[in-house]
């Protein structure tokens, strides 16, 4: 059911970072950007961006409930911020935000409140997908479509639309970038600083990285796992640098923890390697733009997912289709693409990056 | 030596040793003595009216929040569905808070309730437990959760009572250890409950009232009786108010302390089951910061943090105040950060008012 197909993956192998990805995603990015952005985007060999279609015309008033975990990470903060910004752009969206909790009990009661209020749709980024499944099912049974964002429910019937990032794809994109840099250097030392190791998303990212590296006969020689925080990143990077006196390529899964990783690299006075980030914070992109440090690239995990969810909810409720597809219904699952950002294309992405 | 007394709840202790006779009169007097300083000189009736007055304050606060809800959200707030939403949300924290009331009244403190809840939820939903439950009956999962809760409470209690480690440190250690163990067991993954019988039972309604709310009501009622109408309750007040006097009155203070921690552990196990029923999952992240919610509810309810005075009605009102507040904030599109600030203000104002009332009571 995923929109992302192998052909796209092959394409992206040839043009990492340039192909903007699935058609679905295209439509979304086209809608997210304002008119000026669209004009800016329209450069070089990137796929032409569709003009704002009739889908943006004001339709029936729709009430959408939105709930997400606590903003204890720059990315999560950006999710809610993007949702708020989006709702302001559309006069026909009445957004009910119940944001910021890591307590599933509270998040369930927030969704119950939405059901009691008879909102038209619920956009839900669950703290824990499985734990929020029963209440999402309840909402669906009450006739309220649920748009599941980022962390999947464990029952496909619990959501009408699912918007996901591509964790495996992040690893693949990072690995392919490494292959481009060191493909002709079979003894290159590749290091990896992962996020919280026991999370499935971290495992997916590492798997993708490993698989992509294997394509060009490279492998990860040194690997540590941090915890998505600045302190954790600093600590683990310091250990890694101690353990590996010479590194060629380093992939750090997360730009928030990357602030700490860069601090540790600075402290150790190392600059012999190329570093790739993850998630795509504005901070990291500014580093890439400067092109003075070790950070040369980052892989995006879009923080527009929540906003995309709200937008899809609006289309769904106003019975509009995604105008760039022939299909007349809003798709079931949309997986966003994980492009590589380098100094060549950073201008294209920096405006939509999140502040950590 | 002084731990020999067979029934400290009995009216008189003429057969106790000469030493005790001078220091420890009847347990009733112990209770009055140890009840918080401000009501010391009052008669029994005064004690009743004191707590009644405090509860009136809490009821007023609750009504105020409800009024704010009605004014800002109208029918969206004042509906049966919304009331049930508030109660379902309050139920889990409520059960933990009742247990916490006992520990705090008994002069203790428990920071580990959220972590124990997480561990109990994980333990009772592991693959092995669920398989065994599949072969026998889902009641096994219930036993597992309660046993884990009671077990953790037992460890806390023994270390505090016999190891003489202060409750703050002991339960802080348990907080770290229990959540860590929950993460190890679950490998930090969310464990999904497959047993339909269990899910159906815990998501059932009793005459239109969700079962978890019924459990909360039953636990509150049971807690009230236990604290106010039984020897166990009187001993709890005595141990919390003045452990030395309680010991001299013939109460086995150490054993009683252990029992209090086992009790709060059981409450955590029960709350874990309620949360498993509500989410159909067990997870090491369940019960995040419940210790703070429970302590906040207990404190604004009027239970003395230093022990010796406890009120179940106050705790229930405290839980309802916070969960209603949270609901009003959600209905008004306010984020939880603002809510946290409001919560902090309420705690400080409530405690300041209590202290003022207490001072007035002692001076008149």
The CA distance from B95 to B217, in Å, is 9
Cα–Cα distance list, B290 to A242, B50, B260 (Å): 40, 29, 18
Q: Which residues of A touch B330 (CB under 8 A)?
A: 98, 109-110, 113
Instruction: Answer yes or no: are the C-beta atoms of A148 and A162 closer than 8 Å.
Output: yes
The CA distance from A32 to A64, in Å, is 18
Is A36 part of a structural domain of the chain? yes
Fold of B59-354: ABC transporter involved in vitamin B12 uptake, BtuC (1.10.3470)
pTM for this entry? 0.79
| CATH number, position A196 | 3.40.50.2300
**pLDDT for residue B41:** 36
Q: Which residues of A touch B336 (CB under 8 A)?
A: 70, 99-101, 106
**pLDDT for residue A355:** 84
Give the closest residue to A212 by CA, choosing from A240, A194, A228, A190: A190
Is A137 part of a structural domain of the chain? yes
Distance from CA of A289 to the nearest CA of B (A): 34
pLDDT at A84 over 70: yes
Q: Does one domain contain both A112 and A244?
A: no
Band of residue B207 on the pLDDT scale cut at 50, 70, 90: confident
**pLDDT for residue B45:** 38
Distance from CA of B205 to the nearest CA of A (A): 15
Distance from CA of B80 to the nearest CA of A (A): 10
If interface means Cβ-Cβ distance under 8 Å, which residues of chain A face chain B? 70, 96-106, 108-110, 112-113, 115-117, 127-134, 154, 196, 198-200
Pairing of β A121-124 and β A295-300: unpaired
Q: Does one domain contain both A41 and A84?
A: yes
**pLDDT for residue B362:** 61
pLDDT at B12 over 80: no
Question: Long-range contacts made by residues A318-324, C-beta under 8 angstroms, separation at least 24?
Answer: A318/A59, A318/A60, A318/A62, A318/A92, A320/A55, A320/A59, A322/A24, A322/A27, A322/A55, A323/A27, A323/A50, A323/A53, A323/A54, A323/A55, A324/A23, A324/A24, A324/A26, A324/A27, A324/A30, A324/A50, A324/A53
A102, A112, A133: residue with CB nearest B85: A112
Distance from CA of A79 to the nearest CA of B (A): 14
Is A348 part of a structural domain of the chain? no
Range in A39-43, A207-211, B125-129, B253-257 with the lowest mean pLDDT: A39-43
**pLDDT for residue A188:** 92
CB contact under 8 A, A198 and B187: yes
Q: Does one domain contain both A160 and A174?
A: no
End-to-end CA distance of chain A: 33
Q: Which one of B80, B83, B85 would you mutate to disrupt binding with A, by most A Cβ within 10 Å of its Cβ? A: B85
Could you give the ipTM of this predicted complex? 0.78
The CA distance from B311 to B168, in Å, is 22
The CA distance from B142 to B153, in Å, is 17
B-chain residue closest to A126, CA distance: B279
Give the closest residue to B319 by CA, choosing from B337, B355, B280, B346: B346
Band of residue A70 on the pLDDT scale cut at 50, 70, 90: confident
The CA distance from A300 to A281, in Å, is 8
Is A347 part of a structural domain of the chain? no
pLDDT at A333 over 90: yes
A100, A101, A199: residue with CB nearest B188: A199
pLDDT at A238 over 60: yes
Is A112 part of a structural domain of the chain? yes
Please, what is the average pLDDT of chain B?
84
Listed by start position, the domains of chain B span 59-354
CB contact under 8 A, A106 and B189: no
Q: Does one domain contain both A98 and A151?
A: yes
Q: Does one domain contain both A255 and A325?
A: no
Q: Does one domain contain both A57 and A131?
A: yes
Range in A44-53, B90-99, B101-110, B138-147 with the lowest mean pLDDT: A44-53
What is the tens place of the pLDDT at every residue in A91-109? Answer: 999 999 886 788 899 999 9
Residue B240's CB is within 10 A of a number of other CB atoms, namely: 29
More confident residue, A14 or B111: B111
> Would you state the structure tokens that stand for residue A278, as one six-digit string?
């993850």
Q: Does one domain contain both A63 and A87?
A: yes
Instruction: Answer yes or no: are the C-beta atoms of B35 and B241 closer than 8 Å.
Output: yes
Instruction: Answer yes or no: are the C-beta atoms of A280 and A355 closer than 8 Å.
Output: no
Q: The domain containing residue A242 runs over which residues?
A: 167-300
Provide the domain count of chain A: 2
**pLDDT for residue A43:** 38
pLDDT at B48 over 80: no
Is A205 part of a structural domain of the chain? yes
Average pLDDT over residues B283-307: 91
CB contact under 8 A, A113 and B82: yes
Pairing of β A295-300 and β A274-279: parallel
Q: Does one domain contain both A59 and A151?
A: yes
Q: Which residues of B touch A96 (CB under 8 A)?
A: 333
**pLDDT for residue B37:** 39
Which residues, in sequence order, are CB contacts of A37 under 8 Å at separation 6+? A351
Q: Does one domain contain both A208 and A277?
A: yes
If interface means Cβ-Cβ distance under 8 Å, which residues of chain B face chain A? 76, 79, 81-82, 85-86, 88-89, 92-93, 183, 187-190, 192, 199, 203, 275, 278-281, 283, 285-286, 288-289, 323, 326-327, 330-331, 333, 335-337
Q: Does one domain contain both A263 and A320?
A: no
CB contact under 8 A, B183 and A198: yes
Average pLDDT over residues B293-298: 94
CB contact under 8 A, A109 and B88: yes
Distance from CA of A47 to the nearest CA of B (A): 39
More confident residue, A113 or A10: A113
Q: Does one domain contain both A248 and A179?
A: yes
What is the tens place of the pLDDT at every residue in A129-140? Answer: 999 999 999 999
Please, what is the average pLDDT of chain A?
84
CB burial of B333-356 (b: ≥16 within 10 Å; e: otherwise) equals bbbbeebeebbeebbeebeeebee
CB contact under 8 A, B279 and A116: no
Q: Does one domain contain both A46 and A173?
A: no
Range in A123-132, A304-313, B42-51 with the lowest mean pLDDT: B42-51
3-state helix, strand, coil in chain B (%, to 5): 75, 0, 25
pLDDT at B234 over 50: yes
The CA distance from A177 to A115, in Å, is 46
Q: Dihedral of CA A167/A260/A72/B92: which sign?
A: positive
The CA distance from B41 to B361, in Å, is 9
Burial class (CB in 10 A: 0-12, 13-18, 19+), A242: exposed
Instruction: Answer yes or no: are the C-beta atoms of A276 and A174 closer than 8 Å.
Output: yes
Instruction: Answer yes or no: are the C-beta atoms of A161 and A330 closer than 8 Å.
Output: yes
């Amino acid at each position: 059911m995923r929109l992302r197909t192998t052909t796209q993956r092959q394409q992206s192998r040839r043009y990492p970072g340039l192909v903007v990805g699935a058609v679905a995603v295209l439509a979304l990015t086209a809608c997210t950007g304002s008119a000026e952005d669209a004009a800016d985007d329209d450069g070089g060999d990137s796929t032409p961006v569709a003009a704002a279609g009739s889908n943006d015309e004001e339709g029936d008033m729709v009430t959408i409930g939105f709930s997400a975990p606590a903003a204890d990470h720059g990315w999560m903060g950006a999710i809610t911020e993007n949702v708020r910004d989006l709702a302001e752009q559309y006069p026909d969206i009445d957004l009910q935000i119940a944001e910021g909790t890591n307590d599933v009990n509270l998040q369930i009661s927030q969704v119950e409140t939405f059901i009691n209020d008879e909102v038209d749709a619920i956009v839900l980024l669950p703290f824990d997908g499985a734990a929020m499944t029963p209440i999402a099912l309840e909402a669906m049974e009450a006739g309220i479509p649920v748009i599941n964002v980022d962390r999947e429910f464990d029952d496909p019937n619990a959501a009408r639309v699912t918007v996901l990032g591509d964790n495996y794809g992040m690893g693949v994109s990072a690995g392919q970038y490494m292959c481009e840099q060191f493909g002709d250097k079979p003894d290159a030392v590749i290091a990896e600083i992962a996020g919280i190791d026991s999370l499935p998303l971290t495992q997916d990212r590492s798997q993708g990285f490993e698989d992509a590296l294997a394509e060009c006969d490279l492998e990860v020689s040194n690997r540590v796992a941090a915890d998505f925080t600045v302190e954790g990143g600093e600590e683990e990077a310091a250990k890694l640098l101690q353990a590996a006196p010479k590194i060629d390529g380093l992939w750090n899964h997360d730009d928030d923890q990357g602030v700490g990783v860069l601090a540790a690299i600075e402290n150790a006075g190392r600059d012999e390697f190329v570093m790739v980030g993850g998630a795509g914070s504005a901070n990291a992109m500014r580093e890439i733009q400067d092109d003075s440090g070790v950070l040369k690239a980052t892989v995006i995990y879009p923080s527009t997912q929540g906003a995309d969810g709200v937008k899809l909810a609006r289309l769904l409720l106003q019975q509009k289709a995604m105008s760039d597809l022939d299909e007349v219904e809003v798709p079931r699952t949309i997986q966003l693409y994980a492009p590589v950002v380098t100094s060549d294309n950073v201008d294209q992405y920096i405006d939509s990056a999140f502040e950590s | 030596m002084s731990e020999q007394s067979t029934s400290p709840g009995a009216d008189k202790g003429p057969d106790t040793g000469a030493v005790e006779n001078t220091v420890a009169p009847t347990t009733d007097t112990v209770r009055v003595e140890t009840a918080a300083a401000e009501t010391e000189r009052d008669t029994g009736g005064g004690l009743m009216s004191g707590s009644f007055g405090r509860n009136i304050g809490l009821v007023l606060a609750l009504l105020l929040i409800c009024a704010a809800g009605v004014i800002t959200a109208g029918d969206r707030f004042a509906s049966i569905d919304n009331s049930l939403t508030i109660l379902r949300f309050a139920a889990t924290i409520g059960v933990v808070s009742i247990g916490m009331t006992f520990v705090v009244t008994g002069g203790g403190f428990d920071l580990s309730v959220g972590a124990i809840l997480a561990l109990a939820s994980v333990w009772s939903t592991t693959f092995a437990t669920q398989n065994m439950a599949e072969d026998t009956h889902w009641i096994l999962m219930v036993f597992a959760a309660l046993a884990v809760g009671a077990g953790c409470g037992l460890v806390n209690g023994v270390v505090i009572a016999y190891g003489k480690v202060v409750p703050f440190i002991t339960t802080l250690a348990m907080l770290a250890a229990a959540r860590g163990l929950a993460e190890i067991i679950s490998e930090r993954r969310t464990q999904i409950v497959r047993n339909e019988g269990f899910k159906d039972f815990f998501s059932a309604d009793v005459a239109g009232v969700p079962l978890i709310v019924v459990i909360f009501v039953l636990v509150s009622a049971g807690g009230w009786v236990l604290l106010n109408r039984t020897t166990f309750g009187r001993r709890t007040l005595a141990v919390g108010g003045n452990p030395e006097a309680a010991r001299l009155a013939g109460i086995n203070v150490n054993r009683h302390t252990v029992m209090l921690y086992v009790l709060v552990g059981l409450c955590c196990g029960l709350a874990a089951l309620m949360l498993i029923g509500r989410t159909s999952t067990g997870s090491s992240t369940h019960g995040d910061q419940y210790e703070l919610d429970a302590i906040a509810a207990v404190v604004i309810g009027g239970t003395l943090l230093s022990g010796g005075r406890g009120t179940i009605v106050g705790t229930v009102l405290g839980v309802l105040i916070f969960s209603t507040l949270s609901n009003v904030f959600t209905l008004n599109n306010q984020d939880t950060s603002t809510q946290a600030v409001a919560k902090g203000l309420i705690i400080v104002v409530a405690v300041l008012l209590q202290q003022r009332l207490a001072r007035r009571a002692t001076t008149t």
